[in-house]
Structure 1
Amino acid sequence: MARVNAEKLGTEPISQLLIKQSVPASIGILVMSINILVDTIFVGNWIGPIAIAAINVVLPVSFFIAALGMAIGIGGASVISRALGADLKEKALKTFGNQISITLLITLSTMALGLIFMNTLIPAFGGKGDIFEPAKIYYRIVVIGVPILALTMMGNSVIRAEGKPKFAMIAMIIPSIGNLIMDYFFINVFDWGMMGAAWATTGSYILCLLYIIYFFMSSKSELKLRYQDLGFDANILKEIASLGFVTMARQAVVSLIYLILNNILFKLGGENSVTVYAIISRMLMFALFPVLGVTQGFLPIAGFNYGANKSERVRESINKAILYAAGLGLLVFGLIMFFAPEIASVFTQDADILEKTPSAMRWVFAAIPIIALQLIGSAYFQAIGKAKPAFFLTLSRQGFCFIPLILILPKFYGEFGVWISFPLADILSTIITAFFLNREIKKNLLNKKSTIS
């Protein structure tokens, strides 16, 4: 029964599959993004705008550790999708077991280092002045729970690789709802302040992990883990690492960007400018949910059909995923352009922040309609197991294009230089991705031979 579900990735119409895979992924991302937004609104209104900046300082550190689980999950999911497509069940099981073992080993070690160097990391990421103390309270509790988050991110990717998007969606919805409920009680009712916000976040991770454990122990999953699957396999670990490194590098760059931007903005405009960026970054997570949902839905479809040597279906999935994601990106663009002031006012009533945020937000979202090609293009190479181009294209937007721009432009244009860097990086990286994706389709995809072993 489970095998039949996986095989649908190679037989059902691509449009139908994209909707089935993308809608649950989009809903999951939406709920998670709403959770982040509401969490920020609660913190801003019940604790204060400095608390928003404090959480934004902690995010890159917790994101980096959690990204280890995400990287292992997505890297292994690519292997699992292609293995299921080629009917290599043993390889899929061994991959899943190795994912669990390496996630625990790496994230627990990294968590320990994060706690040891806490007082150094927080100021380095912009936690200075009045931001430091609330950031420290939030950091300590959240980092303790990050290994649990890493396991949930890993497990969620594997659920999606099995072709079970609805269960992956539920796994994202449960912690989001749980976090909001705990936010209300811990912050508003119990008056725990930053400690309450942190425990609500960590508690939500635990709820998510419990659900994922239930999924894999039930009849709903075809990956019935055996004890021997937990033992390390060098070849599988190498394949997971080569593909997962793409995601890890992307998340590491995100953390680096937070570090650079928080420090640049603190110098240019103090705590308020850091808060403006915190609000915009939350909106980026929220507003892009449909585009990211299509990208997530596209991954198992491309991976399975590539493993099954169905290159025509792979090409069709690329074209339709770009078309759907671009249309949704255009809709997001229009909403942000028209409602930026109203969006900013939801987070805070601080006059200075409300004055700065709408204009900055519009510039940050200015090139959103075209990034669909960049996201789908880089995701394609990761889905089919081509780590080098996936790595390059994934980093092209935020690393190779964006970081140099934010280091140079603010020296000439101040805060405006920061905000204009976002659309410029989007445009440049999309041009680069279009070139590589077009070359791949013409030279390799038309005559693809399976590399599954």
Structure 2
Amino acid sequence: MLRLAAPAVAAQLINVLYNIVDRIYIGHIAVVGKTALTGVGVTFPILTLISAFSAFAGMGGAPLASIRLGAGDRKGAEAILGSAVSMLVTMALVLTLGFSVFQRPLLLAFGASADTIGYATDYLTIYLLGTIFVQLSLGLNTFISAQGKAMPAMCSVLIGAVLNILLDPLFLFVFRMGVKGAALATILSQAVSAVWVVGFLCSGRSGLHIRREHLGFRPRVMGKIAALGVAPFIMQSTESLVTVVLNVGAQKYGGDLYVASITILQSVMQVIVMPSHGITTGVQPIMSYNYGAKNYARVRAVFRRLLAVTMTVTTAAFLLVALFPAAVALMFNDDPQLVTLVGRVMPLFFGGVWAFGAQVACQSTFMALGQAKTSLFLALLRKIILLVPLAVLLPWLSGSVMGLYAAEPVADFLASAATLTLFLKRRKTLLPLKTQEEN
């Protein structure tokens, strides 16, 4: 678990840096930093949705490939990989065209104002040109992790993230390209990551290979990928919906200052949840492989350790942001009003994140075991069924923007409790105690 999860955690955290570093640098642009940060924050729902489509094919296909490898069917695993490549390329073309045509009305609907729309369109126009790189680098990297090759998977993300960190200040402050420079740095970095991932999967170092005969549209294989991939897709795409609801509510009840606070809070949320997602990404191949081999005792042992680790991570993260909220806010911007606001609302907003460790451990285990319908329900529960309605109702009922920030902890606690209860109820059926002799 440590050997596979540690690089995966590093890869997830490094991946977050693509957007987080942009926001940190943009927030410190002289004079216009706060407004530019708000504008780029409004693009977050679209960026998240693009990443969600990469998870649809990548995280939907990778566990299936692991199960096929565990069953000794390498050809079947490579057929899944080939179908995932075709899906990723097709989705990249559709997303680039669709968002390029409708970006301005979408950004205005997502909470942009007259003061911030210019920064939002400047950033997004360039970012969309790199959609194909985002799809390939994020979507195919999961197939490297699925083979148990955690270090190459981490390196693919590390290369791009380091390049992004170096290019951001160069384009922003040396060439004075503003938010356009930040977007250009991001897509160039993603391009390098994509080349690394595709190159690895075509090389002799990989146990799975992208083969020409497996490329193309195979409805049966793609249907299986889609059935399992819809859960991680919804997990990420609903994050986009949540951001839209939060931005619109913040604009309605507060204004641009409160939208800026949501940008910072959502950025910090990414940093908090990514370690848990990284741990589950690293551990899923162990679960899927042993489940395919009917070694249920090992799957149960892995889950117990996974739950303990994810709960420890999310609890530690909660304590950090609750005790030092202003220090975290200063990383993004030094405007006194914004720092004061974020310092006041951050402990409330993250009040239930400590319980998120239980949900991510259980939901990822269902996905590793190929339980698509259950994974889908759990993906819907926290964001769609709970958080979105609460984010609309609580500020309306209270007549205050503070109700908006209270929606997140309530949803986190309720969803985590329900998810853990469901898993404990079904584990004896999914992982029977009496199996073949296991090591």
The bucket for the TM-score relative to the shorter chain is over 0.9
Choose the corresponding residue for 1:263, options 212, 236, 248: 248
Aligned residue runs from structure 1 range 105-120, under 5 A: 105-120=90-105
Residue equivalent to 1:322: 307
Deviation at 1:33, TM superposition (A): 3.0
Q: Does 1:48 align with 2:29?
A: no
Residue equivalent to 2:180: 195
In the alignment, the residues of structure 2 paired with residue 444 and residue 102 of structure 1 have an alpha-carbon distance, to the nearest angstrom, of 30
- Asked if structure 1 preserves the Cα contact closer than 8 Å seen for 2:7 and 2:150, the reply is yes
Residue equivalent to 1:424: 410
Residue equivalent to 1:158: 143
Provide the TM-score with structure 1 as the length reference. Answer: 0.92
In the alignment, the residues of structure 1 paired with residue 422 and residue 393 of structure 2 have an alpha-carbon distance, to the nearest angstrom, of 27
Cα distance, 1:448–1:263 mapped onto 2, change above 3 Å: farther
Choose the corresponding residue for 1:436, options 411, 414, 422: 422
The 3-state SS of whatever aligns with 2:432 is helix
Aligned residue runs from structure 1 range 85-104, under 5 A: 85-104=70-89
Residue equivalent to 1:221: 206
Deviation at 1:212, TM superposition (A): 0.8
In the alignment, the residues of structure 1 paired with residue 209 and residue 427 of structure 2 have an alpha-carbon distance, to the nearest angstrom, of 36
The 3-state SS of whatever aligns with 1:117 is helix
Q: In structure 2, what residue type is equivalent to 1:274?
A: V
Deviation at 1:447, TM superposition (A): 6.2
The 3-state SS of whatever aligns with 2:339 is helix
Deviates more, 1:277-286 or 1:362-371: 362-371
Q: Does 1:376 align with 2:361?
A: yes
Residue equivalent to 2:55: 70
Deviation at 1:34, TM superposition (A): 4.0
Q: Does 1:123 align with 2:129?
A: no
Deviation at 1:234, TM superposition (A): 2.2
Q: Does 1:397 align with 2:386?
A: no
Q: Does 1:356 align with 2:341?
A: yes
The 3-state SS of whatever aligns with 1:288 is helix
In the alignment, the residues of structure 2 paired with residue 287 and residue 374 of structure 1 have an alpha-carbon distance, to the nearest angstrom, of 14
Deviation at 1:218, TM superposition (A): 2.1
Choose the corresponding residue for 1:183, options 168, 174, 178: 168
- Asked if structure 1 preserves the Cα contact closer than 8 Å seen for 2:172 and 2:178, the reply is yes
Aligned residue runs from structure 1 range 275-314, under 5 A: 275-314=260-299
Q: In structure 1, what residue type is equivalent to 2:328?
A: I
1:410-450 alpha-carbon deviations (Å, 9 max, x no partner): 11332211111111101110111012101111233216999
Residue equivalent to 2:223: 238
In the alignment, the residues of structure 1 paired with residue 196 and residue 82 of structure 2 have an alpha-carbon distance, to the nearest angstrom, of 18
Q: Which runs of 5+ in 2 are unaligned?
A: none
- Asked if structure 1 preserves the Cα contact closer than 8 Å seen for 2:26 and 2:37, the reply is yes
Q: Does 1:31 align with 2:17?
A: no
Q: How many equivalent residue pairs?
A: 433
Q: In structure 1, what residue type is equivalent to 2:293?
A: A
1:233-267 alpha-carbon deviations (Å, 9 max, x no partner): 22211110101111222222111111111111011
In the alignment, the residues of structure 1 paired with residue 223 and residue 433 of structure 2 have an alpha-carbon distance, to the nearest angstrom, of 26
Deviates more, 1:184-193 or 1:30-39: 30-39
In the alignment, the residues of structure 2 paired with residue 223 and residue 114 of structure 1 have an alpha-carbon distance, to the nearest angstrom, of 33
Residue equivalent to 1:136: 121
Deviates more, 1:80-89 or 1:110-119: 110-119
1:275-322 alpha-carbon deviations (Å, 9 max, x no partner): 001011111111333322222222111111111111111111111100
- Asked if structure 2 preserves the Cα contact closer than 8 Å seen for 1:65 and 1:147, the reply is no
In the alignment, the residues of structure 1 paired with residue 357 and residue 199 of structure 2 have an alpha-carbon distance, to the nearest angstrom, of 34
In the alignment, the residues of structure 2 paired with residue 220 and residue 133 of structure 1 have an alpha-carbon distance, to the nearest angstrom, of 45
- Asked if structure 2 preserves the Cα contact closer than 8 Å seen for 1:21 and 1:165, the reply is yes
The 3-state SS of whatever aligns with 1:401 is helix
Residue equivalent to 1:385: 370
- Asked if structure 2 preserves the Cα contact closer than 8 Å seen for 1:126 and 1:262, the reply is yes
RMSD of aligned residue pairs (Cα, Å) = 1.6
- Asked if structure 2 preserves the Cα contact closer than 8 Å seen for 1:66 and 1:147, the reply is no
- Asked if structure 1 preserves the Cα contact closer than 8 Å seen for 2:95 and 2:131, the reply is no
Q: In structure 2, what residue type is equivalent to 1:270?
A: G
The sequence identity of aligned pairs, in percent, is 28
Cα distance, 1:216–1:444 mapped onto 2, change above 3 Å: closer
Aligned residue runs from structure 1 range 205-216, under 5 A: 205-216=190-201
- Asked if structure 2 preserves the Cα contact closer than 8 Å seen for 1:50 and 1:131, the reply is yes
In the alignment, the residues of structure 2 paired with residue 63 and residue 30 of structure 1 have an alpha-carbon distance, to the nearest angstrom, of 15
Q: Does 1:57 align with 2:48?
A: no
Residue equivalent to 1:8: none
Cα distance, 1:168–1:448 mapped onto 2, change above 3 Å: farther
Q: In structure 1, what residue type is equivalent to 2:204?
A: S
Q: In structure 1, what residue type is equivalent to 2:429?
A: K
Deviation at 1:35, TM superposition (A): 4.6
In the alignment, the residues of structure 1 paired with residue 434 and residue 118 of structure 2 have an alpha-carbon distance, to the nearest angstrom, of 55
Deviates more, 1:196-205 or 1:439-448: 439-448
Cα distance, 1:418–1:101 mapped onto 2, change above 3 Å: same
Deviating beyond 6 angstroms after TM superposition, the runs of 4 or more aligned structure 1 residues are 447-450
Provide the TM-score with structure 2 as the length reference. Answer: 0.95
Q: Which runs of 5+ in 1 are unaligned?
A: 1-17
In the alignment, the residues of structure 2 paired with residue 233 and residue 305 of structure 1 have an alpha-carbon distance, to the nearest angstrom, of 27
In the alignment, the residues of structure 2 paired with residue 276 and residue 201 of structure 1 have an alpha-carbon distance, to the nearest angstrom, of 23
Q: Does 1:21 align with 2:4?
A: yes
Deviation at 1:400, TM superposition (A): 1.0
Q: In structure 2, what residue type is equivalent to 1:82?
A: I
Deviation at 1:156, TM superposition (A): 0.8
In the alignment, the residues of structure 2 paired with residue 342 and residue 369 of structure 1 have an alpha-carbon distance, to the nearest angstrom, of 20
In the alignment, the residues of structure 2 paired with residue 146 and residue 35 of structure 1 have an alpha-carbon distance, to the nearest angstrom, of 14
Deviates more, 1:437-446 or 1:133-142: 437-446
Q: In structure 2, what residue type is equivalent to 1:214?
A: G
Deviates more, 1:245-254 or 1:180-189: 245-254
Q: In structure 1, what residue type is equivalent to 2:218?
A: D
